[in-house]
Amino acid sequence: MAILPPTVRPLQPSPDSQIDFGASIEGIDLENLTDEQFTKIHDALYRHQVVVFKRQHKLSAKAQYELTKRFDPTADNYGHGKTIDAKRSILHPDLKTVPHQPQVQIIGNGFVESYEGLENFQLRHPHHRTFHKDHIPDEKDHDYTRFYRWHIDAALYDLNPPQVTTLLAVQVPKGRRQTLLYDDGSDETMDVPLGTTAFVSGERMFELLSPAEQEFVRTSKIEYAPHPYIWMSPAHSRSTGLGLHSEGLELPDSDLPPIDPKKIMILPMLWKNPVTGKLALQIHPSAVRRIHLADGSVIDDLSRVREIVYRLQRPGISPQYVYAHDWEEGDLVLFNNRGVLHSVVGAFRPEEVRLFRQCNLAASEPPMGP
């Protein structure tokens, strides 16, 4: 049988969409990846930001880990390290670790009898009500949803943001769609598949800014809170899944685990694509603490910091710029974690079982600035 060369096809956005990223790759056996094939994947990932491989039901956790690691061969620990073990982390209830491949996590919704050596466990799909200041009323919860929380997969303290994330859909509840509400005074809505993962391009987010804003993000840096997933308030997101102005609910430093100032992250707002050189506006909105300006001064007022970040990010999450992946079982999605923001979406019923495997690795190097 002739072996066809791998093909990369850009995703075909719907007519009302303006997304300019996303591709699918066919013809690669990820379980037995060659160097040549990986070069093709690497190039496709940095040109298209989000790459979909279909029919990967049988992909092992080991092969998923190895594909993820190819992007950063000296990285070896899960992107959050062991920080998610902290019971107070808001991420703690959402993740189960694959025992034989601890860099790979199991996420989803509902009760699972047996998977990857784990027996009888409960998964919990994050619901926007746990993270938004106000939420969609229960009686509308079946039909309507929101972005849960726009983010980069990153610990943002001590550990560098992962280069890429891989997400494998093992089991997906079928059939329903929901209407996603922005609920921010705009009348923007989106029709989305149940439990979609939403992506936006940081490059597009940057391009949408005015020249003055572009100069601001080119020259300013973001300081992230220490132990951000313990620090952040459980209900501080705006209805759009971007950070809210501060309500003063974040934990004071004295209530956090010990803080090592050397581990606090101050990162550029713009991160450079290693293949194309393009700049992406990459800010994790709910973990921001301070803005460091070009002249050396610092904006310390959290409400003001969040207002500034919100103003910079909101244009780039409008519906025409959002790619909402319609998951099919066996889909493996590989994304450039340093070039897109993403969000969980949707509200499942308890009996709707969703089973995913996720892998990312704390990077060996910090992101490249402009």
Tokens standing for 188? 């923007």
Whether residue 263 contacts residue 269, with contact meaning beta carbons closer than 8 Å, is answered with no
Q: Which of residues 10-69 bind Fe ion (CB under 5 A)?
A: none
| Nearest approach, Cβ of residue 21 and Fe ion (Å) | 17
Query: In terms of CB distance, is 198 or 309 closer to Fe ion?
Result: 198
The residue nearest Fe ion at its CB is 153
Query: In terms of CB distance, is 89 or 214 closer to Fe ion?
Result: 89
Q: In this structure, what are the phi and psi dihedrals at residue 344, rounded to the nearest 5 degrees?
A: -65, 145
Q: Which of residues 141-180 bind Fe ion (CB under 5 A)?
A: 153
> What is the DSSP pairing of strand 50-53 with strand 23-26?
parallel
* Closest CA relative to residue 168, chosen from 356, 360, 361, 31: 356
Rounded to 10°, the helix 61-70/35-48 angle is 70
| Nearest approach, Cβ of residue 170 and Fe ion (Å) | 17
* Closest CA relative to residue 363, chosen from 217, 218, 153, 167: 153
How far lies 300's CA from each of 223, 243, 297, 307, 333, in Å?
10, 16, 9, 12, 37
| Nearest approach, Cβ of residue 358 and Fe ion (Å) | 7
Query: In terms of CB distance, is 72 or 153 closer to Fe ion?
Result: 153
* 94 makes contact with Fe ion (CB under 5 A): no
The residue type at 312: L
> CA-to-CA distance for 166 and 169, rounded, in angstroms?
10
> CA-to-CA distance for 204 and 344, rounded, in angstroms?
20
Residues ≥6 apart with Cβ < 8 Å to 297: none
Tokens standing for 69? 């690691």
3-class SS of residue 358: strand
Query: In terms of CB distance, is 153 or 183 closer to Fe ion?
Result: 153
Query: In terms of CB distance, is 106 or 291 closer to Fe ion?
Result: 106
Query: In terms of CB distance, is 159 or 209 closer to Fe ion?
Result: 159
| Nearest approach, Cβ of residue 196 and Fe ion (Å) | 13
Query: In terms of CB distance, is 165 or 171 closer to Fe ion?
Result: 165
* Closest CA relative to residue 107, chosen from 362, 353, 363, 351: 353
Query: In terms of CB distance, is 53 or 150 closer to Fe ion?
Result: 150
| Nearest approach, Cβ of residue 123 and Fe ion (Å) | 15
The count of chain residues that interact with Fe ion, using the rule CB under 5 A, is 1
Query: In terms of CB distance, is 153 or 352 closer to Fe ion?
Result: 153
Query: In terms of CB distance, is 153 or 223 closer to Fe ion?
Result: 153
Residue corresponding to tokens 């070069």: 39
Kindly tell me the sign of the dihedral angle through the C-alpha atoms of 1, 41, 13, 127.
positive
| Nearest approach, Cβ of residue 165 and Fe ion (Å) | 6
CB environment 33-49: b (16+ within 10 A), e (fewer): eeeebbebbbebbbbbb
Interface residues with Fe ion (CB under 5 A) are 153
